[in-house]
Structure 1
Amino acid sequence: MDAVPGRPQEPRGDPLTVLRQLARGRRNRHIAEVPHISEFTVKFHVTNILDRLGVGSRGAGAA
């Protein structure tokens, strides 16, 4: 991914992998170990996933 001047770069990692791990009830620290991404990146993806699903909790997102 090439950086675009003036535009923040999105964290890398696969949001679907994060979603699968979230659905299994895993914590961010453990999710980060699977695709070898930072815990910050996991938090970024979890927040976006929950927003897109329109839910306010990890449990609701996993369901």
Structure 2
Amino acid sequence: MSAYSHFLRLKQVKEITCLSKSSIYRLMEQGDFPKQVPLSARSVVWVKSQVEDWCAQKVCAALS
């Protein structure tokens, strides 16, 4: 199964990261959060593995 086969909607990203919508988009704009993938003109998703990797990096940085 491909790493790109698991997608997350914004609600799921918010639940996983404990971030607000505005924080997620601000971090994306700053280059510090994975970019969303457009599925259609009005639908975007995030790649689950990228969001999980981002979370793991934050934990590692906090423990260093």
- The structure whose residues are more often strand, as a share, is 2
Q: What is the TM-score of this pair, normalised by structure 1? A: 0.32
TM-score, normalised via structure 2 length: 0.32
Q: Which has the higher contact order (CA 8 A, sep 6+)?
A: 2
